[in-house]
Amino acid sequence: MALTSVTFLGPQASFSHQAAVEAFGTSAELIPRPSFSDAFAAVQNQDVDYAIVPFENSTNGSVLQTLDLLADADAAYKDVQVCGEHYLTVHHCLLARKGIFASGEQDYSSITKLYTHPQAWGQCENFLGEHFKGVERQDVSSTSKGAEIVSKETTERSAAIASRFAAEYHGLDILAENIEDNSNNTTRFLVLRNTKSERSSRDSFEHIKAQNRQEPPTNIPAAKKNKNLISFMVREDTPGALADALLIFKSHGMNLTSINSRPSQKAAWHYVFLVECQTTTTDDGQEIATGVVADLQQVTEACRYLGTWTDQLVSTGN
């Protein structure tokens, strides 16, 4: 039997790579992609069974690249839907080439440039504000890419913000650990599949996850609720159009867990709304979402159902 194939935002040793290992296990074929759009395209073209992409961070909010691709202004990914989620606790480290700094040295004044993914800057502002005011920040496609760049530089005294996993993979020294502002810093990843794929329909993400992971956290209820993602645009010439749309979710017993808006790319100041909602019961979430979409089509434009999956958020008891 062929291995389950999963693409993630690469290169190797990125947080997305770590999330893929945790969610799918080491037996899956894990394939890096250089960009978010490449990961979506791989699913749309059925080059892989699944993709796992970052969706939001508990400290720095939504990942805009993922939102834009889900909004899908050009209908390039019309067969891509969300089928699962995974939460990854994110710990950032300050990394440099081997031997550049003495062990335990805390003076970083000679570092001239920092590399990391844009999301990581906002997650480490306290540390950066204390040690790196005025130091050049270079955005890169992933935290691991920043680590890779630093590992290959020979002239600059640069550093990267990335994971311990990336430090070990690229052979870098860890100058400081756990530099994120919030120790509970967590990124939520979405798992994507192609609705026309027989393989991902037959081998659901939840089934694969159960096979490849150890016992689930005990504080997740046995009877899990579902989450759903729906996108739409409102009619600008209708007063209260957004309010009318949101009331439909309430009428179907849906609890709205997040609302994001992105430029529609169709006309200036026209937006796509992406609404994530949770069923308030353990009933079939997809069936309820289908009813929501049918009603939304009466009051919105370009309404699209983007998937139903099992809610994996660990209850804290608060």
Tokens representing 176? 């400081």
**In this model, does residue 314 exceed pLDDT 90?**
no
**In this model, does residue 102 exceed pLDDT 70?**
no
pLDDT in tens, 264-292: 998 899 999 999 999 866 566 788 899 99
- pLDDT recorded at residue 221: 46
Distance CA 309, CA 294 (A): 19
φ/ψ (deg, to 5) at 9: -70, 110
Tokens representing 81? 């839907």
Pairing of strands 5-9, 50-57: parallel
What domains lie within the chain, and their CATH numbers? 5-89+185-212 (3.40.190.10), 93-177 (3.40.190.10), 226-310 (3.30.70.260)
Q: What is the mean pLDDT of residues 39-67?
A: 95
The alpha-helical segments, DSSP class H, found in 153-225 are: 164-170, 198-202, 205-212
Distance CA 309, CA 87 (A): 14
**In this model, does residue 215 exceed pLDDT 50?**
no
The alpha-helical segments, DSSP class H, found in 118-176 are: 118-123, 125-131, 143-152, 164-170
Closest alpha carbon to 156 in 114, 116, 198, 195: 114
